Amino acid sequence: MIKKKISFKLNEQEVEVEVETRELLAHVIREQLGKTGTHIGCDTSHCGVCTVDLNGNSVKSCTILAVQADGGEVMTVEGLATNGELHPLQQAFIQDHGLQCGFCTPGMLIRSYRLLQENPSPTEEEIRVGLSGNLCRCTGYQNIVKAVKTAAEKM
Amino acid sequence: MPTLAGDVQAVLADEKVHFQYQEVAAVIADNRYIAADALDLVEVEYEPLPVIVDPHRSMDADAPILREDVVKKDKVGQGPRKHANHIFTWAVGDKEGTDRALASADVVVKEDMLYPRVHPSPLETCGCVASFDKIKGNLTVYITSQAPHIVRTVVSILSGVPESKIRIISPDIGGGFGNKVGVYPSYVTAIVASIVLGRPIKWIEDRMEHLSTTAWARDYHMTGELAADKDGKIKALKVKVLADHGAFNSHAQPTKWPAGLFSVCTGSYQVPVAHVNVDGVYTNKAPGGVAYRCSFRVAEAVYLIERMMDILSQKLGIDKAEIRSRNFIQAEQFPYKTSLGWELDSGDYPTALKKVLDAVDYAGLRKEQAEKRAQGELMGIGLVTFTEIVGAEPSKACDVLGVGMFESAEIRVHPTGSVMARMGTISTGQAHETTYAQIIATELGLPSEEITIEEGDTDTAPYGLGTYGSRSTPVGGAATAVAARKVRAKAKKIAAHLLEVSEDDLDWEIDRFKVKGVPGQEKTMKEIAWAAYNNVPEGMEMGLEAVDYYDPPNFTYPYGVYLSVVDIDKFTGEVKVRRFYALDDCGTRINPMIIEGQIHGGLTEGFAVAMGQEMPFDEEGNLLGNTFMDYFIPSFVETPQWETDFTVTPSPHHPLGAKGVAESPHVGSIPCFTSAVVDAFAHLGVTHMDLPHTAQKVWKKIHELGLDKRD
Ligand code: FES
Ligand code: FES
């Protein structure tokens, strides 16, 4: 198998890793770099639990190769909190009961983060459309929408 | 390997593969990429054999025998069997009496309905890491299980390793919904591989494997007959079910209940006599038959009776709210013994129904519907007034592998008044940590921030049967309350000793014991906790802790009234849910925020089942759709807005009056959606449409009725 050394910024830290060119970003982030907040839930790019931020865009890390991140900037859910303080989105998810089992939550958070960068005060409709690439089996979405609104107001 | 239902199931198939995607070989490798490469090198040659896909054909005289390995057995779980592909017959009720009532009733309505095969599909698939220590002989398994203690027992029986040397750890898991109760072949493979190799072995399923091989739900082919007089008073109910169990009988039901609690199908109504007959059969499909966010077969039971009530209402021209009212069990009749043997604990159905009808302006909706119909538009109103049965279960009635279905809690109060509590249940997102801590905080007057709840590690937690069937609050919550009360009873003795009074002189107030009539003479729980470790009455053991194994005297019976309004596009068949109003009565409400969250989630899963989930097979038994591309998981965009409401009718036998809630919204919403969709066509003589109500299927009905003509 062809291996390649790649480096990128992961949550503002420079990392260097050797990967097979066929390896998916999600696997490298989880298994080589130990950031297990990024989950994997499907084989068809539908569920969004693997969502990370790459160069300022939300991407499904199960659907791109790790080598495509070479030289880029990646943010995972672990990068949201700063100096031990939870991000307003994380606080709002707790306060508004925006998670139950929590499996979808890292993807929801990192996608919501980008959504609010793009649109700091989204309407309910805009939140629903903006997050429609992320599935949840537990919450029925209502409290996630509420949490994103709460966070938008606080940010 | 043995299944939980008394059959045997191949870990890796030899000689014969019984369903598409059945496991035949395993590859162990250093990482998933190498394993995938190696898997490509495995070549399996299959010789096609005749298959049975339609369960109605399983017991044909010329049907191929699917399971030669059990052909001679008269039992594979519950017997006796009447055909090589037959698994069990289960009948309950008064057959002659029911037939007599049917024959002499003013009206009888009859309907065939299919509750299709659906998959719980939690967002996290199944997986485990098995690690066997060859030197010490200890086996540790990290596993996504809703029932870790049962897994330990099963693993011990299978492997011969004593239970004391097996540690099952079910950490935070990404949803379960009934799918993660059983023991799957791949868990066994990983464990065996670890025992053989002496190294940790990890198995993580992908979505396709998950949908194709792990436990699905329903697949009940039901026929209901409901008899009534001309005023709509029910006289009898007769139900026949053909249950497709797939290739192995490995549904997860209590041992004595092959059709689970299906006989709760008389619902919220006074049904003088009833009879139920269920036959289970083999087909060439994956094994399963679990309770997808419901108690054992209760979703099927509720669907059946709520559909039959609608059909009766149509037949007699009596409104569906009115016909339900006429047949309700009344508040003063509780506890109410049903004709199929259940004792419903408490309820006030008329009040709940009235509250919902008022809240949505039911009369106004019916008026609007009449206007819409006059204009040729399709609007439907769905209504259900259902009763669930949860809290599995009194051990005299139910067991798994012979282990009674109690639940357990162990509470330790430390000298400084902080608490460590462990339960035999396991949260899959229901926030047990919050609810249990709240129960303990309330019972003991200690701050919930200082209460740690731990579940899911069989080395530390007391034995419990796990979390499914909405049993955590009804049974685990009860165990927690009783254990806390045992702690408080001891604390009272210590308080009396410290205050030098008799126990009878003490009153409990929030967080302390006070001497009656003497202000200021009191001991807080924190003070008592400290004293428990240095100054206890003579003859008393030091320490402040208690364990309770709670065996409930009865099930609990939460109920609800749901109303939905749908608008259907005549040209596309698309069903738009305009409104969904859900009133639940789950008895005492311990934490309203968590209850609401559970209801939102349950309604959304109900919406998924009603509007799109199914697992179709072609004639050769190929599963058509085992990815999220085909299998419907509603997103933010399709999911309706939910309106919730409640009444509170406590359970008389639960220590806190709580009944459990997480499953009601799933169980209740599905027939409510069907009720609404059918209602849109009711004026055209349509009485029933099978699940799921996809645009394509609804459009077909529209087209058949000639409603999509453009003029
Ligand atoms: S794992 Fe499902 S979209 Fe990436
Ligand atoms: S919280 Fe469980 S999948 Fe979203």
In a domain, B29, yes or no: no
B577 and B526 assigned to the same domain = no
B512 and B569 assigned to the same domain = no
The answer to whether A17 faces chain B, any CB pair under 8 Å, is no
B445 and B563 assigned to the same domain = no
d(CA B623, CA B639): 26
Please say which residue of B528, B550, B572 terminates a domain. B550
The answer to whether A37 faces chain B, any CB pair under 8 Å, is no
Whether the Cβ atoms of residue A49 and residue A134 lie closer than 8 Å to each other = yes
Pocket test for ligand 1, best of A30, A40, A59, A132 (most atoms within 8 A of CB): A40
Confidence label for B1 from pLDDT (cuts 50, 70 and 90): confident
The helix-helix angle for B362-374 and B349-360 (nearest 10°) equals 50
User: CA of A132 to nearest chain B CA: how many angstroms apart?
Assistant: 5
Please say which residue of B213, B237, B258 terminates a domain. B213
Query: How far, in Å, are A107, B276, B351, B364, B417 from residue B313 at the CA level?
Result: 47, 22, 20, 19, 59
The answer to whether residue B710 is catalytic is: no
d(CA B347, CA B385): 12
Domain that holds residue B630: 343-391+557-704
Work out the percent of chain B whose per-residue pLDDT is above 90. Answer: 81
Query: Would you say residue B270 has pLDDT above 80?
Result: yes
B643 and B694 assigned to the same domain = yes
Contact A25 CB / ligand 1 (< 6 Å): no
The helix-helix angle for A88-95 and A142-154 (nearest 10°) equals 140
Query: How far, in Å, are B236, B323, B375, B389, B590 from residue B270 at the CA level?
Result: 9, 12, 39, 16, 30
pLDDT digits (tens, 9 = 90+) for B226-253: 999 999 999 999 999 999 999 999 877 6
B597 and B461 assigned to the same domain = no
d(CA B418, CA B260): 41
**What are phi and psi for residue B37, nearest 5 degrees?**
-60, -45
Q: What average pLDDT score do residues B258-281 get? A: 96
What is the 3-class SS of chain A, one letter each residue?
A: CCEEEEEEEECCEEEEEEEECCCEHHHHHHHHCCCCCCCCCCCCCCCCCCEEEECCEEEECCCCEHHHHCCCEEECHHHCCECCECCHHHHHHHHCCCCCCCCCHHHHHHHHHHHHHHCCCCCHHHHHHHCCCCCCCCCCCHHHHHHHHHHHHHC
The answer to whether A2 faces chain B, any CB pair under 8 Å, is no
Query: Would you say residue B393 has pLDDT above 80?
Result: no
Q: What average pLDDT score do residues B260-266 get? A: 94
pLDDT value at position B197? 96
In a domain, B92, yes or no: no
Instruction: Please list the alpha-helical segments (H only) found in B77-227.
Output: 95-104, 148-159, 185-197, 207-213
Confidence label for B75 from pLDDT (cuts 50, 70 and 90): confident
- The domain made up of A88-154 is a member of CATH 1.10.274.100: no
**DSSP states of B16-58 as a string?**
---STT--------SSHHHHHHHHHH------------SGGGT
The helix-helix angle for B478-499 and B432-444 (nearest 10°) equals 30
Q: Which of B358-362, B468-472, B556-560, B591-595 has the lowest mean pLDDT?
A: B468-472
Instruction: Please list the alpha-helical segments (H only) found in B85-206.
Output: 95-104, 148-159, 185-197
pLDDT value at position B399? 65
pLDDT tens, position by position, for chain A (155 residues)? 799 999 999 999 999 999 999 999 999 999 999 999 999 999 999 999 999 999 999 999 999 999 999 999 999 999 999 999 999 999 999 999 999 999 999 999 999 999 999 999 999 999 999 999 999 999 999 999 999 999 999 99
CATH number for A3-79 (one of 3.90.550.10, 3.10.20.30, 3.40.50.720, 3.40.50.10580): it is 3.10.20.30
Give the DSSP letter of residue B62. T
d(CA B341, CA B344): 9
pLDDT digits (tens, 9 = 90+) for B503-535: 999 999 999 999 999 999 999 999 999 999 999
Which two structure tokens, joined as six digits, stand for B457? 């590690």
B696 and B561 assigned to the same domain = yes
Query: Would you say residue B76 has pLDDT above 90?
Result: no
Q: What is the CATH number of the domain that holds B357?
A: 3.30.365.10
Whether the Cβ atoms of residue B428 and residue B391 lie closer than 8 Å to each other = no
ipTM field: 0.96
Instruction: Please list the alpha-helical segments (H only) found in B570-692.
Output: 592-611, 664-679
The residue among B475, B527, B448, B387 whose CA lies nearest residue B147 is B475
Query: Would you say residue B142 has pLDDT above 90?
Result: yes
pLDDT value at position B427? 81
Strand-strand pairing, B217-228 and B234-244 = antiparallel
Query: Would you say residue B469 has pLDDT above 90?
Result: no
The helix-helix angle for B298-316 and B664-679 (nearest 10°) equals 30
* Chain A residues within an 8 Å CB radius of B662: none
Identify the active-site residue in B218, B293, B422, B512.
B293
**Which ligand gives the minimal distance to the CA of B628?**
1
The residue among B282, B209, B287 whose CA lies nearest residue B9 is B287
Whether the Cβ atoms of residue A119 and residue A126 lie closer than 8 Å to each other = yes
Helix H or strand E encompassing B561: strand B559-568
**What are phi and psi for residue B549, nearest 5 degrees?**
-105, 105
pLDDT value at position B400? 64
Please say which residue of B213, B231, B261 terminates a domain. B213
d(CA B252, CA B295): 10
The answer to whether A33 faces chain B, any CB pair under 8 Å, is no
The residue among B360, B381, B316, B384 whose CA lies nearest residue B681 is B381
CA angle B678, B682, B684 (to 5 degrees): 125
Residue whose structure tokens are 């198939």: B13
Alpha-carbon torsion, ordered B593, B594, B598, B604, to 10 deg: 40
Alpha-carbon torsion, ordered B585, B586, B589, B591, to 10 deg: -120
B565 and B699 assigned to the same domain = yes
Strand ranges of the sheet holding B545-550, from the earlier edge strand across to the other edge: B451-455, B419-423, B407-413, B545-550
Gyration radius from chain A CA atoms: 15
B521 and B567 assigned to the same domain = no
Whether the Cβ atoms of residue B475 and residue B407 lie closer than 8 Å to each other = yes
Query: Would you say residue B580 has pLDDT above 80?
Result: yes
pLDDT value at position B545? 96
Contact A140 CB / ligand 2 (< 6 Å): no
pLDDT value at position B291? 85
Contact A79 CB / ligand 1 (< 6 Å): no
Alpha-carbon torsion, ordered B659, B662, B668, B674, to 10 deg: 180
pLDDT value at position B266? 98
d(CA B225, CA A67): 63
Q: Is A137's CB within 8 Å of B601's CB?
A: yes
* Chain B residues within an 8 Å CB radius of A21: none
Contact A60 CB / ligand 1 (< 6 Å): yes
Note if the pTM is more than 0.80: yes
Q: Is B627's CB within 8 Å of A132's CB?
A: no
The answer to whether residue B598 is catalytic is: no
d(CA B98, CA B238): 7
Query: Would you say residue B466 has pLDDT above 90?
Result: no
Q: What average pLDDT score do residues B637-658 get? A: 95
Domain boundaries, chain A: 3-79, 88-154
**CA-A48 nearest atom, ligand 1:** 3
Whether the Cβ atoms of residue B581 and residue B562 lie closer than 8 Å to each other = yes
Work out the percent of chain B whose per-residue pLDDT is above 70. Answer: 97
Q: Which amino acid is at B319?
A: D
Q: Is B417 helix (H, G, I), strand (E, B) or coil?
A: coil
Whether the Cβ atoms of residue B39 and residue B31 lie closer than 8 Å to each other = no
Which two structure tokens, joined as six digits, stand for B201? 């072995």
Whether the Cβ atoms of residue B503 and residue B509 lie closer than 8 Å to each other = no
Q: Is B428's CB within 8 Å of A101's CB?
A: yes
Helix H or strand E encompassing B484: helix B478-499
B595 and B698 assigned to the same domain = yes
Confidence label for B392 from pLDDT (cuts 50, 70 and 90): low
B568 and B658 assigned to the same domain = yes
Of B31, B177, B601, the CB nearest to A139: B601
Q: Which residues of B424-456 are buried (b: 16+ CB within 10 A; e: fewer)?
A: bbbbbbbbbbbbbbbbbbbbbbbebeebebebb
Whether the Cβ atoms of residue B126 and residue B210 lie closer than 8 Å to each other = yes
Contact partners, residue B439, CB within 8 Å, separation at least 6: B477, B480, B481, B484, B590, B656
The residue among A139, A108, A78 whose CA lies nearest residue B429 is A139
**For residue B592, what is the nearest residue in chain A, using CA coordinates?**
A97
Query: Would you say residue B206 has pLDDT above 70?
Result: yes
The answer to whether A22 faces chain B, any CB pair under 8 Å, is yes
pLDDT value at position B401? 65
The structural domain count of chain B equals 3
pLDDT value at position A141? 98
d(CA A103, CA B480): 27
B581 and B693 assigned to the same domain = yes
B432 and B513 assigned to the same domain = yes
Q: Is B477 helix (H, G, I), strand (E, B) or coil?
A: helix
The DSSP bridge partners found for residue B117 are: B218
Helix H or strand E encompassing B367: helix B362-374
